[in-house]
């Protein structure tokens, strides 16, 4: 009888324990399933982890071949498992990327805060030195004649203003001088005659004198002709400006026709630099702004100039607009046709929101940055960009001040997690979108870590294609045998240690199926 009462009391106590546990669970804010309540008196595991769903096995070399079951390829390499989502106890939004913190450290991920800053920048453009078109003078007689004598007979010779260049003989010039002399004598002889005759002879004198002036005969020679009345056989042409003879076609004894250019004299005390500014930067260039000029011939000198004109047309071949910079040329150091490096400082109009240029992943159709949400959690954001400087770019939409964006190892995050799938989740609000695979938590037999190591010998280097062909030894983390294959390079700086025949130790990752990228090289 006592034993039966004991059983009843034990049953009541057990029921009370179960009920109390259920009430405490509700009071703690954690709704539990009936199955969990029923098993409250049974010792259960700390957490129930839902394993990710296995989709298929893909070819380890990126070929279009999949298998529903584990298998090996023709070289004995295991196919790689592809999963649908992460475990249920560690959910990740469909537009987020999750990487374990230890792998974030191994990949060298660096972040920088989105900041407001002044976007002062410098536009750089290639240019060339050209003579000032307003300081170029052509000497071309307006009558037919012959070059009688040359006073300046070499191209490049410096000349002073008024210095004799050459002498010419022209039958027309001699005839016109005689006509003027006869008319002048007629005026002298008609001093006592009636007024109309004297007036007519005076007009003949003025007409002959004006024709001489129209032929660019110097004032000095005209005065000498008026004073002496003597006809001279030759006429001397003088330099109209101080400068350099940049073109000389005159040869002693040659015949020339009216309007034929015999000399070109250029004043190079001030020159132009015409720069080709890229189309996207031309909106920032203003006339009157200062410019700095550097010439390869004088690496220790810097020349200052001013933008005086922005040309109204675009060069289709280079998608650039020409900009004219005027500057003085002391000592004639700047020679026409010299190449110049032009720097155009541009001042910003206040503070703007910016991110580092290295933070932007540009696909050509849209620009994306990775925003760090927490330890190992990243969210790709599509952004709308504005002006760029050397190190920063203006962000008009997509991020807020103070948010952290990834500035280094962007492509490694892309390799570690399926970033393309995260980008595909933009604009989707459905809860049924597949979550990204956290490959740091999914255990597979084929891939032990995101970074793999091997010893190799360099066979061929394609610097233009940023690729290298290696014969490497076995790769334990991928269960690869030794083979010869092509790798891409994470950056061109790795090329210095990759020479044909060199023995190197490499680290590489799979950026996308079948694309293996070397991230580190050691001799």
Asked if residue 330 and residue 230 are part of one domain, the reply reads no
Does residue 215 lie within any of the structural domains? yes
Q: Closest by alpha carbon to 144, among 110, 166, 168?
A: 168
What per-residue confidence (pLDDT) applies to 504? 92
User: Any idea what the Cα angle at residue 61 is, between residues 60 and 66, rounded to 5°?
Assistant: 55
Task: Compute the average pLDDT of residues 389-414.
Answer: 81
What per-residue confidence (pLDDT) applies to 415? 53
End position of a domain, from candidates 346, 377, 394 = 346
pLDDT per residue over 148-196, tens digit each?
999 999 999 999 999 999 999 999 888 888 887 777 777 777 776 667 7
Does residue 439 lie within any of the structural domains? no
d(CA 154, CA 159): 11
End position of a domain, from candidates 219, 242, 260 = 260
Of the listed ranges 111-120, 305-314, 410-419, 488-497, the least confidently predicted one is 410-419
Range of the domain at 73: 46-90
Asked if residue 66 and residue 14 are part of one domain, the reply reads no
Asked if residue 75 and residue 53 are part of one domain, the reply reads yes
**The CATH number of the domain where 465 resides is what?**
2.40.50.320
Count how many domains the chain has: 6
**The CATH number of the domain where 375 resides is what?**
2.40.420.20
> Which residues sit opposite 80 in a β-bridge?
58
Asked if residue 242 and residue 145 are part of one domain, the reply reads yes
Which band of pLDDT confidence, cut at 50, 70 and 90, is reported for residue 430? very low
Are residues 413 and 406 in contact, defined by beta-carbon separation less than 8 angstroms?
yes
Angle between helices 219-228 and 195-214 (to 10 degrees): 140
Does residue 462 lie within any of the structural domains? yes
DSSP states along 197-244: HHHHHHHHHHHHHHHHHHTT--HHHHHHHHHH----SEEEEE-SSSEE
Angle between helices 171-189 and 219-228 (to 10 degrees): 50
pLDDT beyond 60 at 449: no
DSSP states along 75-133: TSPBPEEEES---TTS---TT-EE--HHHHHHHT-EEEE-EEEE--EEEEEEEEEEE-G
Does residue 435 lie within any of the structural domains? no
Are residues 264 and 246 in contact, defined by beta-carbon separation less than 8 angstroms?
yes
Does residue 442 lie within any of the structural domains? no
DSSP states along 249-284: ---TT-EE-TT---EEEE--SEEEEEEEEEGGGGGG
Asked if residue 408 and residue 505 are part of one domain, the reply reads no
Asked if residue 159 and residue 219 are part of one domain, the reply reads yes
Average pLDDT, the chain: 77
Asked if residue 237 and residue 162 are part of one domain, the reply reads yes
pLDDT per residue over 6-44, tens digit each?
433 444 344 444 444 443 444 444 444 444 433 444 444
Does residue 113 lie within any of the structural domains? yes
pLDDT beyond 80 at 98: no
Are residues 213 and 222 in contact, defined by beta-carbon separation less than 8 angstroms?
yes
- In the sheet that holds 158-159, the strands lie side by side as 136-139, 263-266, 243-248, 158-159
Asked if residue 62 and residue 33 are part of one domain, the reply reads no
**The CATH number of the domain where 318 resides is what?**
2.40.30.170
pLDDT beyond 60 at 472: yes
Task: Compute the average pLDDT of residues 512-516.
Answer: 79
End position of a domain, from candidates 240, 260, 280 = 260
What per-residue confidence (pLDDT) applies to 263? 95
319 CB neighbour count, 10 Å cutoff: 11
Q: Closest by alpha carbon to 420, among 508, 358, 511?
A: 511
Asked if residue 247 and residue 157 are part of one domain, the reply reads yes
Asked if residue 400 and residue 321 are part of one domain, the reply reads no
- In the sheet that holds 234-238, the strands lie side by side as 234-238, 164-169, 145-150, 255-256
Does residue 325 lie within any of the structural domains? yes
d(CA 454, CA 82): 24
Q: Closest by alpha carbon to 522, among 448, 458, 466?
A: 458
Does residue 429 lie within any of the structural domains? no
């Amino acid at each position: 009888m006592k034993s039966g009462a004991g059983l009843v009391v034990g049953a009541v106590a057990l029921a009370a324990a179960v009920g109390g546990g259920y009430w405490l669970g509700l009071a703690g804010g954690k709704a539990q399933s009936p199955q969990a309540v029923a098993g409250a008196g049974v010792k259960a595991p700390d957490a129930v982890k839902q394993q990710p769903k296995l989709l298929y096995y893909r070819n380890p070399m990126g070929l279009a071949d999949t298998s529903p079951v584990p298998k090996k390829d023709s070289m004995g390499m295991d196919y790689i498992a592809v999963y649908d989502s992460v475990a249920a106890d560690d959910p990740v939004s469909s537009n987020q990327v999750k990487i374990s913190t230890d792998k974030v450290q191994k990949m060298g991920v660096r972040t920088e805060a989105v900041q407001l800053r002044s976007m002062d920048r410098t536009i750089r453009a290639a240019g060339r030195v050209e003579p000032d078109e307003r300081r170029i003078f052509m000497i071309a007689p307006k009558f037919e004649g012959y070059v009688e004598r040359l006073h300046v007979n070499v191209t490049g010779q410096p000349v002073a203003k008024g210095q004799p260049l050459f002498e010419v003989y022209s039958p027309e010039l001699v005839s016109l001088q005689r006509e003027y002399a006869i008319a002048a004598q007629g005026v002298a002889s008609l001093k006592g005659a009636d007024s109309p005759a004297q007036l007519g002879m005076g007009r003949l004198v003025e007409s002959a004198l004006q024709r001489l002036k129209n032929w660019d005969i110097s004032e000095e020679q005209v005065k000498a002709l008026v004073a002496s009345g003597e006809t001279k056989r030759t006429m001397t042409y003088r330099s109209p400006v101080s400068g350099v003879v940049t073109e000389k076609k005159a040869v002693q004894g040659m015949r020339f026709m009216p309007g034929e250019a015999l000399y070109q004299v250029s004043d190079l005390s001030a020159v132009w630099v015409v720069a080709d500014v890229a189309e996207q930067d031309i909106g920032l260039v203003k006339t009157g702004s200062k410019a700095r000029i550097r010439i390869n011939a004088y690496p220790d000198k810097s020349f200052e100039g001013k933008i005086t004109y922005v040309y109204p047309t675009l060069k289709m071949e280079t998608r650039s607009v020409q900009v004219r910079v005027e500057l003085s040329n002391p000592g004639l150091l700047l020679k026409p046709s010299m190449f110049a490096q032009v720097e155009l400082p541009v001042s910003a109009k206040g503070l703007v929101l910016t991110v580092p240029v290295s933070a932007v992943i540009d696909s050509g159709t849209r620009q994306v940055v990775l925003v760090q949400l927490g330890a190992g959690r990243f969210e790709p954001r599509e952004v709308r960009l504005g002006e760029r400087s050397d190190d920063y770019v203006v962000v008009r939409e997509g991020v807020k001040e103070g948010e952290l964006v990834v500035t280094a190892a962007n492509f490694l995050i892309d390799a570690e997690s399926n970033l393309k799938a995260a980008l595909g989740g933009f604009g989707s609000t459905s809860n049924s979108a597949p979550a990204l695979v956290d490959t740091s938590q999914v255990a597979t037999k084929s891939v032990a870590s995101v970074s793999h190591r091997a010893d190799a010998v360099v066979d061929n280097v394609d610097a233009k294609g940023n690729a290298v062909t290696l014969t490497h030894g076995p790769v334990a983390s991928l269960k690869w045998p030794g083979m010869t294959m092509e790798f891409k390079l994470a950056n061109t700086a790795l090329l210095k240690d990759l020479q044909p025949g060199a023995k190197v130790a490499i680290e590489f990752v799979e950026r996308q199926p079948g694309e293996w990228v070397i991230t580190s090289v050691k001799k």
